[in-house]
């Protein structure tokens, strides 16, 4: 059985043919899909959970992507704190650090990452991490948060970076992204 652990199918760009996309995934052998509810504002988290509620093969994560954390308000955190406890939500993420694009100030990224790690611990769920050109800072924050269950998705670091994550028991995903 194949599980797609990182699918962005909640967005409006899939509204016209989402069911067909999901049907093609199933036909190709993907029987479970984790929809990452973390794009832009928390409407993404709400959409991901709604998809998971109506389809037993779909599960959700909730967070705000590091690109967008500079825009976070207390109301955004309230949505995530509520939805992270939802039974169809299997992880907190994607969260992390993206120093390649720097769309949000690095200090804001580090603060939000640490807070999402705290939330994951509070609800007893793993962390889906988006880390780009920021592996030293990421490892320090993950260690400070005593994170044990975690995937470093879309990995673009060095072999030593990968070994350091593996030594902590984390999963590392290789997706073929360019850097």
Residue keyed to tokens 């037993």: 56
Binding map of Zn ion across residues 82-101, x = CB under 5 A, - = no contact: ------------x-------
Region of 50-58, 127-135, 140-148, 161-169 interacting with Zn ion (CB under 5 A)? 127-135
| Tokens (6 digits) for 147 | 């994170």
Residues 140-159 that bind Zn ion (CB under 5 A): 154
CB 45, min distance to Zn ion, A: 13
Region of 47-55, 77-85, 124-132, 167-175 interacting with Zn ion (CB under 5 A)? 124-132
Selected binder of Zn ion within 47, 110, 115, 130 (CB under 5 A): 130
Q: Is residue 25 helix, strand or coil?
A: helix
Return the closest-CA partner of residue 124 out of 146, 109, 140.
146
Residue 132 as a binder of Zn ion (CB under 5 A): the answer is no
CB 102, min distance to Zn ion, A: 15
Q: In what order do the strands lie in the sheet with 58-62?
A: 2-7, 30-37, 58-62, 89-98, 127-132, 150-153, 171-172
Size of the site for Zn ion (CB under 5 A): 4
Please state, in angstroms and as integers, the Cα–Cα distance from residue 137 to each residue in 35, 96, 144, 157, following that order: 26, 10, 11, 13
Phi and psi at 87, nearest 5°, equal: -65, -20
Binding map of Zn ion across residues 22-41, x = CB under 5 A, - = no contact: --------------x-----
Closest to Zn ion by CB, 74 vs 95, is 95
Return the closest-CA partner of residue 84 out of 46, 130, 133, 31.
46
CB 69, min distance to Zn ion, A: 13
Binding site for Zn ion (CB under 5 A): 36, 94, 130, 154
């Amino acid at each position: 059985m194949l599980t797609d652990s990182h699918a962005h199918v909640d967005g409006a760009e899939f509204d016209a043919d989402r069911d067909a996309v999901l049907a093609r995934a199933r036909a190709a052998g993907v029987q479970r899909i984790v929809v990452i509810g973390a794009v832009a504002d928390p409407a993404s988290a709400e959409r991901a959970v709604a998809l998971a509620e109506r389809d037993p093969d779909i599960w959700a994560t909730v967070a705000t992507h590091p690109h967008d954390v500079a825009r976070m308000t207390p109301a955004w955190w309230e949505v995530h704190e509520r939805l992270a406890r939802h039974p169809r939500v299997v992880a907190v993420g994607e969260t992390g650090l993206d120093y390649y694009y720097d769309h949000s100030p690095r200090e804001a990224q580090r603060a939000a990452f640490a807070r999402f790690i705290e939330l994951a611990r509070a609800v007893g769920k793993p962390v889906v991490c988006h880390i780009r050109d920021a592996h030293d800072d990421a490892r320090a924050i993950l260690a400070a948060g005593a994170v044990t269950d975690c995937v470093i998705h879309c990995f673009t670091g060095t072999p030593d970076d990968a070994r350091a994550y593996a030594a902590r028991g984390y999963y590392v995903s290789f997706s073929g992204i360019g850097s």
